[in-house]
Structure 1
Amino acid sequence: MTNIEQLEPKEVFSHFAALSSIPRGSQNEKQVSDYIVKFAKERGLEARQDKMYNVLVKKPGTPGYENAPALILHGHMDMVCEKDPGVEHDFTKDGIKLVVDGDYIRADRTSLGADNGIGCSFILALLDSKDIAHPPLEAVMTVMEEMGKVGASEFDVSQLEGTRMVDFNWVTDEQILAGCAGDISCTIDVNAEWVSTPPNTQALTLAISGLLGGHCEFDIHLERANGIVVLARMLNSLAKKHDVRVARFAGGAQNNVIPAHGELVLVVQMADRAAVVKEIIELNTTLAKEFSVADPDLRVTVTEAALPSRVYSKSATHRVGRIVALLPNGVISMSRSIDGLVESSSNLGTVRDTDAGLTFTCTITAGVSSRKHDIFERMRHLAEMAGGGTEFKQFGLDAPEFPPTPNSRSVPAAVAAFEAVHGRVPEVLVSSCSLELGFFVNRIPRLDTVGIGTELQHLHSTKERVSHRSVARSWKVVRDFVGRLKD
C-alpha cells in the first residue's frame, strides 16, 4: 500500500501526514497550534499565538516581491470527529490513521480531517517553500471553525496588513470561490417532566444506522435522511396508538453535520410490545423505500434495553416528537438570482440528554441575513408555543455572509492561474455554504477575497475522502496564483 508521504506533491502531503498525527478536534487544538508555532520559529518566521490558540505566521516576500502588498492565507486547524459504531478511537489523544485507496486518501473508519487539513498543508508548504515566488505572506490558521467559527470571530485582525486574502477551505478544484453564505445556530431545551416508570412496561432501543450523513451545507440539497428526524417520526407514529414514553434520546455528531446515527429509548406497555415492534418494522420498510435513492442503506433496529427508573411524562414525550416534526429542516429556499443555488437551509444536527431532559441543536445557513434571521425567529416561536418550560437560545455566533468583492483583482488572478494549469476557464461560484470569511471581510476594509480548493467528498463523515490527484492539481494553481501577486 502506498505511503502517503510518497504521494506528490510531497511538500504538501508531508505536512498533511504530520497534521493528521496530531489530535485536533474542535476545542482540542492546543497541540496542533503549538506544533505550527514551533514549525514557524524553526524556520525563522514570526509567529503569534493568541489565547484561543489561533496562529498567525508572517513570511517576507521573495526577491522582487518584497514590496508587494501582503497576501493573507487562511485555513482552520480543527476537524469534525466522527467514527463508525464500535471503533475504538479517542479523538482527544489519537491521530488519524490514513489510508491511500486508489486515487483517494481516507481514514480508517473515522472522519479524515482533510477539511481543513489539506488547506493548512497548503499554507505550511508555502511557508516552508524556498522556490515559490510570492508576496509577503500572513498565514492565519484558526480554531473552532467547526463549532460556530469562534476562532475567526475572536482573531485580532489589526495584526494584519494585507488587503487581499486567499482561503483554502473549499471542496472542489473545479471552481473558484467568490462568495458564500453566513450561519447561525440555536439550542432548544425540552423539559422531561420526569415521572416514575410505570409498572408492567418494557424498554426498547430504536437505533438508526446506515445513513450517509454529510455536511449540512454542501450536502443539504441531496435530501438525505436525518437520523434524529427519522427517529422522532417513528416516535410520533407510535404515540398515536400507544402509551410510549421517552427514556433517552441521543444522536448526531455536531451541529453542522447531517445526523447519521442516533438512539431513542422508549418504554412501552408489556401488552403493546409486540404491536409496537411490528409497527417499527413496518415503518422501517416504509422509510427504506422512501429514502431508497438518497439514503439506500437506512436501517432502524429495535432491541430490548434495561428498564430505567424514570421516563418522560406523556405530555413531554409528545412535545419532543412534535417539536422535531415542526422544526424547519433541510432546504428552505432557493436563490432566485443564481440558478440552482440553495439560498437558505437548516440542519437539526444533534440531540443530547441532559439532567432536565434533552437539548436539540440546529444550524441555519443563508446567503441573505434577513432570511437567516427569519428562520431563527420561526424556531424561537415554535419553542415558545411548545410550552412545558421549553427554552430557546442562540448557540455560538451569528456568522455573516461573504459577498463577492466588487472589482476584485484576486478572483481574476485565481481564474488566470486555473486556466494556466488546466487549459480552461473555471466556474466562479458564490456558494450556499458558510465559511469564516465573513468575519474577515466585515472587519478589514476593502478586503479582496477568493477561495481555492480541492476535491473533498463526504465531509464530516467516516466516508470522508480527498483526491490526491486533485491536491496535486490545486497545488499547481496555488503556486501560480501567488506568483501573480507582484503588485
Structure 2
Amino acid sequence: MRVLEGIEPREVMHFFEELSGRHRCSRHEKQATDYVADFAQSRGLEHHRDDLQNIIVKKPGTPGYEAAPTVILHGHLDMVCKIDEGFTHDFAAGGVTLKVDGDRIRAEGTTLGADNGLGISYMLALLDSKDIPHPPLECVMTAMEEMGKVGGDGVDLKLLSGKRMIDFNWIDEKQLLAGCSGDVSCRIDVDADWTAPGPDRVALALDIRGGLGGHCEFDIHFERANAIVLLGRLLRAAMKAGDVAVARVSGGVQNNVIPAEAAAVLSVRPDEVEAVERAVSALAADLKAEFRSADPGLRIETKRTEAPVERVFSARAARTLVRTIALLPDGVQTQNLEVPGNWETSNNIGLMITTGRGAEITSTITSAVTSRKHAVLDQMMQLAEMAGEGVTAKQIGLDAPEFPWNPKSRMLEVAKDSYKRVMGRSPDVLVSVCSLELGMFTQRIDGLDTVGIGTNLYDLHSPKESMDHTSAARVWPLIKDVMRNLDR
C-alpha cells in the first residue's frame, strides 16, 4: 500500500510519492527526469530534455482556452540531501522513505524533498488532468537549483513562448510571492603548505554536532550557530594553548545550508594534550551558553583518536586558516529599509572541506540589491588579497539576479482574486529575502509577468523538513482557480 494513499489532494500526492521514490539529490536528477520524460511520452505531450537534466513539458490549452496566452509553470527537480545524525541512508537506492505524522509528511531520517518536489507534483497533476480548464502550459522543471541555480541558467529559453509565469517554489500558503533576492557564491582557498606532523604526536578529534542548521536565507536571521565559524574559534583556542597542528577540517553539507556540523583532526604534543583539551572545553562551555537560546542542542566534543595523521598544515598556514574563518562575514549584513522586517543582504559560510591543496571554504551571498551583493563579494576578495600567503578567492557558479517587484503585475492581481475567492481572505503579498531562480527568467524574458504560489513547508534543508498536507489540500483548489481565470 502506498504511504500517501488517501491523503488529499490525491492526484498531487500520487506524483509526490512517485518522485520521492527516486534519486533527486542535486547533480543526480536523472532518475526523476527519466520519470517525467516517460510520463510525458505516455501522454503524448511535447517535451524537451537537455544535458543538465532540465526538462520542459508542454500541453495545449483545454477547450475554450486554446487561444489564451501561454503560461509558464516552474519548479525544480532537485533536493538538498541531508541525513540525520546516526541514521544511515542511500538516496540513490530509493529516494526517501515517507511517513505521515498527523498533518505533516516527513521522511525517515533525511530531508523530505518537498522543496521542490511538491511544486513539480502540482505541475504533473495539471499536465495529467482532463477536467481542469487551463491555457496552454509550458512546464519548466529545472535541475541543480540547490547547487547554484545551474539548471535555471541553462534552460533554453527559445523553447518558451509564454510571457506570464507561475512559480511553485514557495513555502507559505498565506503569501503570494511578488519579488525575491539574487545570490552569488564565493570560494576561498587556503594553501596548507603541507608538512610532516613530527614524531610521537597525539591525534585529537574535535567534533561539533547537534546544531539546528537550516536554510541560509529563510533561517539566517535566527542567529543559529554556524559550525564552521565555531570550529575556527575552537581551533584558535587550541592553538593558543599548545603546539597544535591541523591535519583535517570539514563542515557543512552544501553552501546554501547553515552548517550544523563541523570537525577537525589535530596533532598535539603529548605533554600539551591536557592543556589543549582544557582550553577547548572551556570555550565549548562558553559557546553552548552563548547559543543557549538560538541553538540549545549544540554539542562540542574532543577525544583522542587513533586516526592516522600523515601530514598537517604548516604552523603559518594553520594560523592563516583560523584568521580567514574569523574574518569572513557571516549572517545578516544589512536590513531592507523598503520592506520592514526583511533583511536585505546576508552571507552564509556554508561548506568547508580539506583538499589536496589545503582548505576550501564556500559561502553564498544573498541580496535584494545587486550592488550590495557585489560589495560583500568584493570584501571577501580583498580579505584574500590582504591575507596573502596562499589565500585566494574567486566567484564560483552563477551571479543570480533578483526578481524585482512589479506593482502593475496582472498575474499578481489574478492570483489575489483567486486567493480571496478560494481562501476567503486576502493573501499577504511578499517580496522575499530568499534567492530563487525567478530572476533568471524575469531578467531574460522581456515582459515576463510572474507570481509565486506556496504551500506550508517547514525546516527546509534539514532532516526535520516536513510538508503540511492539509495546506496542499487548500492550495490545490487555488491553483485550479488561477488556471481557470487565465483565459485571456
Residue 2 of structure 1 deviates from its aligned partner by 8.9
- Contact 1:267/1:307 (<8 A) preserved: no
Amino acid at match of 1:137: L
- Contact 2:241/2:276 (<8 A) preserved: no
Aligned mates of 1:269, 1:336 — CA distance in 2 = 53
Residue 241 of structure 1 deviates from its aligned partner by 3.1
Aligned mates of 1:329, 1:98 — CA distance in 2 = 34
The equivalent residue for 1:50 is 50
- Please give the residue correspondences for 1:127-166 in structure 2 after superposition, counting only pairs within 5 Å: 127-166=127-166
Indicate the RMSD between aligned Cα atoms, in angstroms: 1.2
The equivalent residue for 1:60 is 60
Aligned mates of 1:252, 1:63 — CA distance in 2 = 51
Which moved further from structure 2: 279-288 or 356-365? 279-288
Residue 309 of structure 1 deviates from its aligned partner by 2.0
Residue 85 of structure 1 deviates from its aligned partner by 2.9
Aligned mates of 2:272, 2:475 — CA distance in 1 = 59
Q: Cα distance 1:156–1:406, how it changes in 2: closer, same or farther (>3 A)?
A: farther
Matched, 1:25 2:25: yes
The equivalent residue for 1:485 is 486
The equivalent residue for 1:217 is 217
Aligned mates of 2:341, 2:198 — CA distance in 1 = 52
The equivalent residue for 2:368 is 367
- Contact 2:288/2:299 (<8 A) preserved: yes
Aligned mates of 2:252, 2:485 — CA distance in 1 = 44
The equivalent residue for 1:9 is 9
Aligned mates of 2:67, 2:92 — CA distance in 1 = 43
The equivalent residue for 1:318 is 319
The equivalent residue for 1:463 is 464
The equivalent residue for 1:390 is 391
Amino acid at match of 1:478: I
Amino acid at match of 1:408: S
Q: Cα distance 1:2–1:50, how it changes in 2: closer, same or farther (>3 A)?
A: closer
Which moved further from structure 2: 327-336 or 201-210? 201-210
Residue 457 of structure 1 deviates from its aligned partner by 0.9
- Contact 2:242/2:275 (<8 A) preserved: no
- Contact 2:349/2:362 (<8 A) preserved: yes
- Contact 1:5/1:17 (<8 A) preserved: no
The equivalent residue for 2:71 is 71
Aligned mates of 1:225, 1:94 — CA distance in 2 = 32
- Contact 1:77/1:142 (<8 A) preserved: yes
Aligned mates of 1:270, 1:2 — CA distance in 2 = 58
What is the DSSP-based 3-state SS (H/G/I as helix, E as strand, rest coil) of the residue aligned with 1:403?
coil
The equivalent residue for 1:125 is 125
Amino acid at match of 2:74: H
The Cα offsets for residues 414-442 of structure 1, whole Å up to 9 and x where unpaired, read as 11111112211111000010000111111
Aligned mates of 2:175, 2:244 — CA distance in 1 = 50
Aligned mates of 1:208, 1:362 — CA distance in 2 = 19
Residue 81 of structure 1 deviates from its aligned partner by 0.8
Aligned mates of 1:116, 1:273 — CA distance in 2 = 47
Amino acid at match of 2:225: A
Aligned mates of 1:285, 1:198 — CA distance in 2 = 31
Matched, 1:91 2:91: yes
The equivalent residue for 1:353 is 354
The Cα offsets for residues 118-172 of structure 1, whole Å up to 9 and x where unpaired, read as 0000010110111111111100000000011011101111111110000000011
- Contact 1:367/1:432 (<8 A) preserved: yes
TM-score (normalised: structure 1): 0.98
The equivalent residue for 1:404 is 405
Aligned mates of 2:33, 2:341 — CA distance in 1 = 38
- Contact 2:170/2:177 (<8 A) preserved: yes
The Cα offsets for residues 16-72 of structure 1, whole Å up to 9 and x where unpaired, read as 000000001111111211110110111111111112111111111111111100000
- Contact 1:145/1:152 (<8 A) preserved: yes
- Contact 2:237/2:280 (<8 A) preserved: no
What is the DSSP-based 3-state SS (H/G/I as helix, E as strand, rest coil) of the residue aligned with 1:271?
helix
Aligned mates of 1:191, 1:67 — CA distance in 2 = 61
Provide structure 1 residue ranges, at least 5 long, that are not aligned to the other structure: none
What is the DSSP-based 3-state SS (H/G/I as helix, E as strand, rest coil) of the residue aligned with 1:33?
helix
What is the DSSP-based 3-state SS (H/G/I as helix, E as strand, rest coil) of the residue aligned with 1:169?
strand
Aligned mates of 2:83, 2:168 — CA distance in 1 = 25
Aligned mates of 1:295, 1:85 — CA distance in 2 = 16
Aligned mates of 2:301, 2:153 — CA distance in 1 = 42
Residue 102 of structure 1 deviates from its aligned partner by 1.2
- Please give the residue correspondences for 1:261-276 in structure 2 after superposition, counting only pairs within 5 Å: 261-276=261-276
Aligned mates of 1:92, 1:380 — CA distance in 2 = 37
Residue 293 of structure 1 deviates from its aligned partner by 1.0
What is the DSSP-based 3-state SS (H/G/I as helix, E as strand, rest coil) of the residue aligned with 1:5?
coil
The Cα offsets for residues 98-134 of structure 1, whole Å up to 9 and x where unpaired, read as 1111111111111111100000000101101111111
Aligned mates of 1:484, 1:266 — CA distance in 2 = 63
Which moved further from structure 2: 171-180 or 269-278? 269-278
- Contact 2:57/2:138 (<8 A) preserved: yes
Aligned mates of 1:414, 1:284 — CA distance in 2 = 50
Tell me how many residue pairs correspond in the alignment: 487
Aligned mates of 2:87, 2:394 — CA distance in 1 = 34
Amino acid at match of 1:157: L
- Contact 1:2/1:100 (<8 A) preserved: no
The equivalent residue for 1:379 is 380
Aligned mates of 1:471, 1:402 — CA distance in 2 = 25
What is the DSSP-based 3-state SS (H/G/I as helix, E as strand, rest coil) of the residue aligned with 1:285?
helix
Aligned mates of 1:395, 1:232 — CA distance in 2 = 23
What is the DSSP-based 3-state SS (H/G/I as helix, E as strand, rest coil) of the residue aligned with 1:310?
coil
The equivalent residue for 1:427 is 428
The equivalent residue for 2:253 is 253
Aligned mates of 2:360, 2:92 — CA distance in 1 = 23
Which moved further from structure 2: 96-105 or 405-414? 405-414
The Cα offsets for residues 192-239 of structure 1, whole Å up to 9 and x where unpaired, read as 111111234211111111111111001001111011111111111222
Aligned mates of 1:13, 1:94 — CA distance in 2 = 17
- Contact 2:187/2:393 (<8 A) preserved: yes
Amino acid at match of 1:413: V
Aligned mates of 2:181, 2:89 — CA distance in 1 = 33
- Contact 2:401/2:440 (<8 A) preserved: yes
Identity percentage over the alignment? 53
Residue 310 of structure 1 deviates from its aligned partner by 1.5
The equivalent residue for 2:453 is 452
Residue 178 of structure 1 deviates from its aligned partner by 0.1
The equivalent residue for 2:244 is 244
Residue 86 of structure 1 deviates from its aligned partner by 3.3
- Contact 2:78/2:145 (<8 A) preserved: yes
What is the DSSP-based 3-state SS (H/G/I as helix, E as strand, rest coil) of the residue aligned with 2:5?
helix
The Cα offsets for residues 283-309 of structure 1, whole Å up to 9 and x where unpaired, read as 221111111111110011111122412
Amino acid at match of 2:373: K
- Please give the residue correspondences for 1:274-313 in structure 2 after superposition, counting only pairs within 5 Å: 274-305=274-305, 306-313=307-314
The equivalent residue for 1:234 is 234
Residue 406 of structure 1 deviates from its aligned partner by 4.3
Aligned mates of 2:90, 2:326 — CA distance in 1 = 34
What is the DSSP-based 3-state SS (H/G/I as helix, E as strand, rest coil) of the residue aligned with 1:444?
coil
